[in-house]
Amino acid sequence: MDFTSVARAARTASRQLATARREQKDAALLAMADSLLEAQEAVLAANDVDVRRAEASGTPAPMVDRLRLTPDRVAGMADGLRALARLADPVGDVVRGWTNPNGVQIRQVRVPFGVVGIIYEARPNVTADAAGICVKSGNAALLRGSSSAEASNVAIVAALRAGLERAGVTPDAVQLLTGGREVTAELMGARGSVDVLIPRGGAGLIDAVVSGSKVPVIETGTGNCHLYLDATADPDMAVAILLNAKTQRPSVCNAVETVLVHRSRADLVERVVAELTAAGVTIHGDDDFRRASPQVVAAEPGEYDGEYLTLDIAARVVDSFDDAVDHIRAHGTGHSETIVTNDLAAAERFTAEVDAAVVLVNTSSRFTDGGEFGFGAEIGISTQKLHARGPMALPEMTSTKYVVTGQGQTRP
Amino acid sequence: MDFTSVARAARTASRQLATARREQKDAALLAMADSLLEAQEAVLAANDVDVRRAEASGTPAPMVDRLRLTPDRVAGMADGLRALARLADPVGDVVRGWTNPNGVQIRQVRVPFGVVGIIYEARPNVTADAAGICVKSGNAALLRGSSSAEASNVAIVAALRAGLERAGVTPDAVQLLTGGREVTAELMGARGSVDVLIPRGGAGLIDAVVSGSKVPVIETGTGNCHLYLDATADPDMAVAILLNAKTQRPSVCNAVETVLVHRSRADLVERVVAELTAAGVTIHGDDDFRRASPQVVAAEPGEYDGEYLTLDIAARVVDSFDDAVDHIRAHGTGHSETIVTNDLAAAERFTAEVDAAVVLVNTSSRFTDGGEFGFGAEIGISTQKLHARGPMALPEMTSTKYVVTGQGQTRP
* In B121-205, beta strands by DSSP E: 140-144, 174-176, 196-200
Question: Residue A214's closest CA among B197, B355, B213?
Answer: B213
Instruction: Decide if A384 touches B, using CB distance below 8 A.
Output: yes
Ranges of each domain in chain A: 3-220+390-405, 225-367
Distance CA B409, CA A228 (A): 16
Classified as helix, coil or strand, B40 is: helix
Distance CA A245, CA A338 (A): 10
B19: closest CA of chain A, how far (Å): 7
Q: Is B390 in Cβ contact with A240 (below 8 Å)?
A: no
- The phi, psi pair for A298, rounded to 5°, reads -75, 130
Distance CA B47, CA B146 (A): 13
Domain range A3-220+390-405, CATH class: alpha beta
Chain A contact set for B15 (CB, 8 A): 353, 355
Percent of chain A with pLDDT over 70: 100
B60: closest CA of chain A, how far (Å): 30
Return the exposure string of A194-229: e unless at least 16 CB atoms fall within 10 Å of the residue's CB, then b.
Answer: bbbbbbbbeeebbeebbebbbbbbbbbbbbbbbbbb
Q: Which residues pair with B35 in a beta bridge?
A: none
DSSP code for B337: E
Residues of chain B numbered 155-194 and touching chain A (CB < 8 Å):
191
Element (H, E) at A288: helix A287-292
Chain B contact set for A191 (CB, 8 A): 210-211
pLDDT band at A155 (very low <50, low <70, confident <90, very high): very high
Distance CA B188, CA B212 (A): 7
- The amino acid that residue A360 corresponds to is L
User: Which residues, including other chains, have CB under 8 Å from residue B283's CB and lie 6 or more apart?
Assistant: B273, B276, B277, B289, B293, B295, B296, B297, B312, B313, B315
Q: Is B262 exposed, middle or buried (0-12, 13-18, 19+ CB in 10 A)?
A: buried
Residue A137 has pLDDT above 90, yes or no: yes
Interhelix angle A344-353/A321-331, rounded to 10 degrees, is: 20
Question: Residue A50's closest CA among A36, A32, A64, A40?
Answer: A64
- The amino acid that residue A301 corresponds to is P
Chain B contact set for A245 (CB, 8 A): 410
- The phi, psi pair for A351, rounded to 5°, reads -70, -25
Topology of domain B225-368 in CATH is Aldehyde Dehydrogenase; Chain A, domain 2 (3.40.309)
DSSP B45-75: HHHHHHHHHHHHTT--HHHHHHH---HHHHH
User: Which residues, including other chains, have CB under 8 Å from residue B135's CB and lie 6 or more apart?
Assistant: B17, B25, B28, B29, B32, B84, B141, B164, B169, B173, B174
Whether residue B256 contacts residue B272, with contact meaning beta carbons closer than 8 Å, is answered with: no
- How would you write B90-116 as a 3-class SS string? CCCCEEEEEECCCCCEEEEEEEECCEE
Distance CA A246, CA A283 (A): 11
Chain B contact set for A18 (CB, 8 A): 352-353, 355
Cα–Cα separations (whole angstroms), residue B80 to A159, A343, B22, B378: 59, 42, 17, 11
Distance CA B280, CA A285 (A): 78
Distance CA B170, CA B161 (A): 8
Whether residue B83 contacts residue B42, with contact meaning beta carbons closer than 8 Å, is answered with: no
The pLDDT, as a whole number, for residue B202 is 81
Distance CA B159, CA B162 (A): 5
Of A356, A362, A402, the CB nearest to B358: A402
- The amino acid that residue B5 corresponds to is S
- The amino acid that residue B131 corresponds to is A
Of B234, B240, B363, the CB nearest to A104: B363
H helices present in A167-259, as ranges: 181-189, 203-212, 235-247
Instruction: Decide if B406 touches A, using CB distance below 8 A.
Output: yes
Residues of chain B numbered 262-301 and touching chain A (CB < 8 Å):
none
Of B114, B362, B391, the CB nearest to A406: B362
Domain range A225-367, CATH class: alpha beta
Of B236, B389, B403, the CB nearest to A351: B403
Question: Residue A33's closest CA among A67, A83, A69, A70?
Answer: A83
Q: What is the mean pLDDT of residues A382-394?
A: 93
Q: Is A399 in Cβ contact with B386 (below 8 Å)?
A: yes
The pLDDT, as a whole number, for residue A210 is 85
User: Which residues, including other chains, have CB under 8 Å from residue B301's CB and lie 6 or more apart?
Assistant: none
pLDDT in tens, A364-382: 999 999 999 999 888 889 9
Residues of chain A numbered 34-93 and touching chain B (CB < 8 Å):
none
Whether residue B139 contacts residue B113, with contact meaning beta carbons closer than 8 Å, is answered with: yes
User: Which residues, including other chains, have CB under 8 Å from residue B240's CB and lie 6 or more apart?
Assistant: A408, A410
User: Which residues, including other chains, have CB under 8 Å from residue A21's CB and lie 6 or more apart?
Assistant: none
Instruction: Decide if B256 touches A, using CB distance below 8 A.
Output: no
Whether residue A299 contacts residue A287, with contact meaning beta carbons closer than 8 Å, is answered with: no
CB atoms within 10 A of CB B396: 21
Flag whether the ipTM exceeds 0.90.
Answer: yes
Distance CA A285, CA B254 (A): 60
**Nearest Cα residue in chain A from B233:** A408
- The amino acid that residue B145 corresponds to is G
- The amino acid that residue B297 corresponds to is V
Q: Is A355 in Cβ contact with B401 (below 8 Å)?
A: yes
Distance CA A26, CA A23 (A): 5
Q: What is the mean pLDDT of residues A64-79?
A: 95
**Dihedral of CA B336/B215/A391/A24: which sign?**
positive
Residue A122 has pLDDT above 80, yes or no: no
Q: Is B216 in Cβ contact with A384 (below 8 Å)?
A: yes
Whether residue B223 contacts residue B309, with contact meaning beta carbons closer than 8 Å, is answered with: no
Instruction: Decide if A405 touches B, using CB distance below 8 A.
Output: yes
Of the ranges A136-140, A283-287, B216-220, which one carries the lowest mean pLDDT score?
B216-220
CA B264 to the chain's CA centroid: 37
Percent of chain A with pLDDT over 90: 87
B264: closest CA of chain A, how far (Å): 21
Of A19, A360, A405, the CB nearest to B353: A19
Residues of chain B with pLDDT under 50: none
pTM recorded for the entire structure:
0.93
Chain B contact set for A400 (CB, 8 A): 389-390
The pLDDT, as a whole number, for residue A37 is 98
Question: Residue A16's closest CA among A194, A135, A117, A109?
Answer: A135
The pLDDT, as a whole number, for residue A385 is 93
Q: What is the mean pLDDT of residues A225-237?
A: 98
B137: closest CA of chain A, how far (Å): 14
Of B360, B400, B411, the CB nearest to A372: B411
pLDDT band at A268 (very low <50, low <70, confident <90, very high): very high
Of B196, B364, B407, the CB nearest to A410: B364
Classified as helix, coil or strand, B265 is: coil
